[in-house]
């Protein structure tokens, strides 16, 4: 439904199903004119299975001729799109069959899509015939520590790694105490390798500035960081800390842009290189991290301090973290496909000038386990004092699903907010869904954040909040009306009193959560 003078670009996509009204509706004179002038674009896409595939309410706009010119495929049956098993609600398989017409149909020629944010592929839709980014590499419930190879021996690692080193999948590596990658060395970890943090010595892996970690797993052979505790639980080892040289807004011992990283490991982070490269974390699971190195001072699951945009963070799952699942201290790194599973504190925590982007993120919470400090989905600060220091904390999140505590049973009173935006931060949250029995959905905390929202520096758009006791809240004293702001028509946000309003399939199933929409 393209309407109200919008100018979207839809490329290389597949739409199927028996929508009773239309597959694609170009609604109104302004959208029809945008289509004619090339401002509204739909190209190389499929609309199959609807009684009426293309529709407009503008008599002078010939939608069929326009569709043909833009290589839009139509058909009355969903099966003609050639997808494998798309309507199976339990285990849907939307991949194309080998004979599907979506294969080889895509194009990336238009200026709106021919840029570095999009990787050109040959197929339309989200999946190739053989690929499913949600499958195999991730684990839920108690089904952890499973990879394809059976390692033969354990190797204990301690101290510093100061030369280029490779860890191979035929061994298990045990981190004894704090293990540092230093002196610009590279630590390469083969796909399928298992690394265990020693609980007794609070094992952790710290990648220092200039050094790199190349942990490039595969969908079939993810790299697994876990614990040697035979009865693992929250905080059974340290975690992974990456220190880069990208900008931050903090200072340490008078040096602007540098900070001492959280976790008690004694390393600095930050610098002046936005494109700094700390390596690769791809198809990596981090299980049971977050040990306290001293009371009430824990290491996060994945800590990123001043990590630059030259670093790749993609397909990473943090499970059962004893502190935050992910925390960014400044930096510019862009992340994709993150899972935060049953963490204790916050799922996604940003501060000290983090300005990167995160697309495709998913969090699931245990309703009876929360942190003494109060557990949130998002927690975003400019810094601890809410200063005007620059660069501002200005992350962009899109396509995030936060599944908070299940309202069907007891909920720990320490669950606070699905999104706590505070201390002069300027986040942008788009195209996201936040559900569950939090005390509050979004809290716009303080006059500075309220002013940022009013001035479009803090943004929430096309986002659904469903189920918190209080959907929206603010403590600002400057006249800011959070309900009026959030529900601005142009923002496209929605709220529902119950989590069911989000229409997700089975989001509160802790063993096998399914946050796909039912529509």
The b-or-e profile of 197-236 (16+ CB within 10 A means b, else e) is bbbebbbbbbbbbbbbbbbbbebebbbbbbbbbeebebbb
pLDDT band (50, 70, 90) for residue 234: very high
Residue range 151-202, pLDDT digits in tens: 568 999 999 999 999 999 999 999 999 999 999 999 999 999 999 999 999 9
The reply to whether 150 falls in a domain is no
Task: Please tell me whether residues 402 and 308 are part of one structural domain.
Answer: yes
- Residue 229: partners with Cβ closer than 8 Å, 6 or more residues away: 199, 236, 237, 288
Segment 456-460 shows an average pLDDT of 96
pLDDT at 148: 45
Look at residues 338, 376, 377, 374 and name the one whose alpha carbon lies nearest to residue 356: 338
Residue where a domain terminates, one of 132, 152, 178: 132
pLDDT at 126: 43
The reply to whether 160 falls in a domain is no
Residue where a domain terminates, one of 76, 111, 132: 132
Query: SS3 for 402-435, per residue?
Result: EECCCCCCCCCCCEEEEEEEECCCCCEEECCEEE
Distance CA 73, CA 394 (A): 40
The reply to whether 438 falls in a domain is yes
The reply to whether 444 falls in a domain is yes
Q: How far is CA 8 from CA 4, 310, 337, 468, 492, in A?
A: 11, 29, 24, 32, 14
pLDDT at 259: 98
pLDDT at 127: 45
The reply to whether 159 falls in a domain is no
- Residue 169: partners with Cβ closer than 8 Å, 6 or more residues away: 149, 151, 190, 191, 192, 193, 221
pLDDT at 130: 66
Task: Please tell me whether residues 227 and 364 are part of one structural domain.
Answer: yes
Q: For residue 391, is the peptide bond before it cis, meaning its omega torsion is within 30 degrees of 0? A: yes
Task: Please tell me whether residues 123 and 178 are part of one structural domain.
Answer: no
Residue spans of beta strands (DSSP E) within 259-310: 259-260, 268-269, 279-287, 292-294, 297-298, 302-305
Distance CA 175, CA 178 (A): 7
The total number of structural domains in the chain stands at 2
Look at residues 252, 267, 272 and name the one whose alpha carbon lies nearest to residue 209: 267
pLDDT band (50, 70, 90) for residue 12: confident
Segment 396-409 shows an average pLDDT of 92
- Residue 255: partners with Cβ closer than 8 Å, 6 or more residues away: none
Write out the H or E segment, with its range, that includes residue 32: helix 29-37
pLDDT at 449 over 80: yes
Task: Please tell me whether residues 106 and 179 are part of one structural domain.
Answer: no
Task: Please tell me whether residues 422 and 280 are part of one structural domain.
Answer: yes
Task: Please tell me whether residues 196 and 115 are part of one structural domain.
Answer: no
Residue range 329-383, pLDDT digits in tens: 999 999 999 999 999 999 999 999 999 999 999 999 999 999 999 999 999 999 9
pLDDT at 506 over 90: no
Task: Please tell me whether residues 309 and 420 are part of one structural domain.
Answer: yes
Task: Please tell me whether residues 88 and 233 are part of one structural domain.
Answer: no
pLDDT at 499 over 80: yes
pLDDT at 500: 86
Task: Please tell me whether residues 103 and 189 are part of one structural domain.
Answer: no
**Residues 229, 282, 179, 200, Cα dihedral to 10°:** -10
Look at residues 48, 56, 63 and name the one whose alpha carbon lies nearest to residue 96: 48
pLDDT at 35 over 50: yes
Residue pair 29/4 in contact (Cβ under 8 Å)? The answer is no
Distance CA 76, CA 50 (A): 6
Q: Which of 45-49, 270-274, 459-463 has the lowest mean pLDDT?
A: 45-49
Task: Please tell me whether residues 99 and 196 are part of one structural domain.
Answer: no
Query: For the CA atoms of the chain, what is the radius of gyration?
Result: 24
pLDDT at 489 over 60: yes
- pTM reported for the whole predicted model: 0.75
Task: Please tell me whether residues 108 and 222 are part of one structural domain.
Answer: no
Residue range 85-121, pLDDT digits in tens: 765 544 556 667 887 665 775 676 766 656 565 567 6
Residue that wins the pLDDT comparison between 29 and 126:
29
Task: Please tell me whether residues 343 and 425 are part of one structural domain.
Answer: yes
Residue where a domain terminates, one of 76, 110, 132: 132
Distance CA 140, CA 6 (A): 40
The reply to whether 158 falls in a domain is no
Residue pair 319/232 in contact (Cβ under 8 Å)? The answer is no
Residue that wins the pLDDT comparison between 18 and 419:
419
Residue range 313-329, pLDDT digits in tens: 999 999 999 999 999 99
Look at residues 286, 394, 289, 398 and name the one whose alpha carbon lies nearest to residue 337: 398
Q: How far is CA 300 from CA 205, 263, 451, 469, in A?
A: 12, 8, 31, 28
The reply to whether 31 falls in a domain is yes
- Residue 27: partners with Cβ closer than 8 Å, 6 or more residues away: 1, 2, 3, 4, 56, 57
pLDDT at 147: 47
pLDDT at 90: 44
Residue range 128-154, pLDDT digits in tens: 666 555 567 777 776 565 444 455 689
Residue pair 476/448 in contact (Cβ under 8 Å)? The answer is no
pLDDT at 333: 98
pLDDT at 198: 98
Q: Which domain holds residue 468?
A: 170-517
pLDDT at 306: 99
The reply to whether 148 falls in a domain is no
Residue 34 tokens read as: 């945008």
Residue pair 468/445 in contact (Cβ under 8 Å)? The answer is no
Indicate the average pLDDT of the chain. 90
Look at residues 360, 356, 475, 471 and name the one whose alpha carbon lies nearest to residue 419: 471
Residue 252, classed as helix, strand or coil, is: strand
pLDDT at 89: 41
């Amino acid at each position: 439904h393209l309407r109200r003078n919008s100018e979207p670009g839809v490329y290389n996509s597949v739409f199927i199903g028996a929508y009773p009204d239309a597959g694609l509706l170009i609604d109104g004179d302004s959208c029809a004119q945008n289509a004619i002038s090339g401002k509204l674009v739909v190209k190389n896409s499929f609309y199959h299975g609807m009684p009426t595939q293309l529709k407009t309410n503008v008599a002078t706009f010939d939608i069929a001729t326009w569709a043909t010119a833009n290589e839009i495929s139509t058909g009355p049956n969903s099966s003609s799109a050639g997808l494998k098993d798309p309507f199976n609600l339990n285990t849907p398989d939307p991949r194309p069959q080998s004979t599907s017409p979506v294969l080889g149909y895509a194009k990336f020629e238009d200026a709106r899509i021919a840029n570095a944010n999009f990787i050109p592929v040959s197929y339309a839709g989200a999946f190739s015939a053989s690929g499913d980014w949600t499958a195999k590499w991730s684990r839920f419930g108690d089904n952890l520590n499973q990879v394809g190879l059976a390692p033969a021996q354990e190797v204990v690692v301690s101290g510093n790694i100061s030369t280029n080193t490779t860890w191979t999948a035929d061994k298990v590596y045990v981190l004894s105490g704090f293990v540092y990658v230093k002196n610009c060395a590279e630590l390469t970890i083969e796909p399928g390798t298992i690394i265990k943090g020693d609980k007794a010595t609070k094992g952790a892996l710290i990648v220092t500035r200039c050094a790199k970690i190349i942990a490039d797993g595969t969908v079939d052979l993810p790299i697994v960081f876990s614990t040697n505790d035979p009865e693992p639980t929250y905080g059974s080892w340290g975690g992974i800390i990456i220190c880069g040289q990208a900008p931050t807004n903090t200072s340490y011992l008078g040096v602007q842009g540098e900070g001492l990283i959280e976790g008690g490991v004694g390393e600095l982070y930050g610098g002046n290189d936005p494109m700094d490269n700390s390596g690769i974390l791809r198809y990596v699971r981090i299980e049971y991290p977050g040990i306290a190195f001293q009371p009430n001072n824990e290491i996060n699951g994945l800590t990123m301090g001043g990590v630059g945009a030259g670093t790749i963070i993609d397909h990473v799952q943090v499970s059962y973290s004893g502190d935050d699942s992910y925390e960014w201290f400044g930096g510019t790194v862009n992340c994709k496909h993150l899972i935060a599973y049953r963490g204790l504190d916050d799922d996604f925590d940003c501060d000290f000038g983090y300005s990167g982007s995160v697309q495709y993120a998913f969090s699931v919470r245990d309703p009876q386990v929360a942190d003494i400090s109060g557990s949130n989905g998002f927690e975003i600060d400019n810094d601890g004092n809410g200063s005007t220091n620059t660069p501002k904390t200005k992350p962009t999140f899109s396509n995030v699903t936060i599944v908070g505590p299940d309202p069907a049973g007891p909920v720990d009173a320490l669950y606070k907010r699905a999104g706590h935006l505070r201390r002069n931060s300027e986040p942008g949250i788009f195209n996201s869904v936040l559900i569950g029995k939090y005390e509050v959905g979004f809290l716009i905390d303080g006059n500075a954040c309220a002013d940022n929202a009013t001035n479009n520096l803090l943004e929430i758009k096309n986002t659904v909040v469903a189920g918190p006791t209080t959907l929206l809240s603010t403590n600002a004293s400057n006249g800011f009306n959070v309900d009026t702001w959030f529900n601005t028509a142009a923002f496209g946000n929605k709220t529902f009193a119950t989590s069911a309003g989000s229409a997700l399939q089975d989001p509160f199933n802790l063993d096998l959560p399914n946050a796909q929409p039912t529509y």
